[in-house]
Amino acid sequence: METPTSTMSIVEAASRKKRIFDLAVPLENGMPSSGAHPSFQMGLIRRHGDRERPGARGGTSANELFTTGAHVGTHVDALGHWAVNGRIHGDLDATEATKGGRFRHLGADKIEPMVCRGVLLDLPTTLGFDRLPAGYGITAEELQLALGERSLGVGDVALIRTGWQQLYHDAAAFHGGEDGVPGVTGPAAEWLAQHGVRAAGSDTNAFDQIVRGPNFLARPAHTILLYRYGVHIIELLDLEELAAEGVKEFLFILTPLKLVGATGSPVRPLAVIDAV
């Protein structure tokens, strides 16, 4: 991916034809969502034809009401989302930070928009799978293998494909049931943090490796990235088209909603490349 340099003006770069990959899943009734979060619901509360509007010269309007949790569909985690022993990132008291019914510190409104280099780490293609097996734990060595000769540096965003989006429209399979969901292990999260990424994302609903057993609720990657290093996590990305086209590096664009004091925000991330 080429970016503007001192020898190429911004105008020249902007004039090039671009190809845009939409990395978000649709927000719609019945979509998969974790039982830990309110589901997405939407309905039209005013439809064209519901009432006459004298004087409107035939014009009508329609509108809707929707409700959702901030962690439904493609979303980014605010740093306040995850606490360890009652503390959030920066060793802030989690209870104190939420007085008044919303986060006074590290809420979604504090997440800076991201316009930066993005790197796809395509694990199934690297490891010879159509998609990673249920409950598979991605290691640091496997992330390095997927990265290959490319660089991953400070301020980049790393997007990790497991292929799990292939099951997205089968909610039971997508959530893993007794078999679990593939995801990033603790050492792999440490590898990401040591590279200085500003955010890391995946195509699953939890980013972490999910396996049944006594550690079912453990989320070491959340602890390492959100709590320890202050690295945002993006979940439920659709990376299938990006991988199918062999796109490995791109301009990554993400803008969270200014949800004051929220634990996360729905997002519609974009990957942008120069058109051939």
Distance CA 69, CA 160 (A): 23
Residue 266 lies inside a defined structural domain of this protein: yes
**Total count of domains within the chain:** 1
pLDDT digits (tens, 9 = 90+) for 104-127: 999 999 999 999 999 999 999 999
Which pLDDT band holds residue 213 (cuts at 50, 70, 90)?
Answer: confident
pLDDT digits (tens, 9 = 90+) for 122-171: 999 999 999 999 999 999 999 999 999 999 999 999 999 999 999 999 99
Q: What are the Cα distances from residue 274, in Å, to 6, 252, 269? A: 19, 13, 17
Distance CA 96, CA 107 (A): 13
Residue 109 lies inside a defined structural domain of this protein: yes
Distance CA 54, CA 179 (A): 60
Residue 65 lies inside a defined structural domain of this protein: no
Residue 60 lies inside a defined structural domain of this protein: no
Residue 111 lies inside a defined structural domain of this protein: yes
Residue 196 lies inside a defined structural domain of this protein: yes
Residue 59 lies inside a defined structural domain of this protein: no
Residue type, 75: H
CATH number for position 222: 3.50.30.50
Provide the residue range defining the domain that includes 109.
10-27+70-274
Residue 52 lies inside a defined structural domain of this protein: no
pLDDT digits (tens, 9 = 90+) for 12-61: 666 679 999 999 999 999 999 887 888 999 999 999 988 877 877 778 88
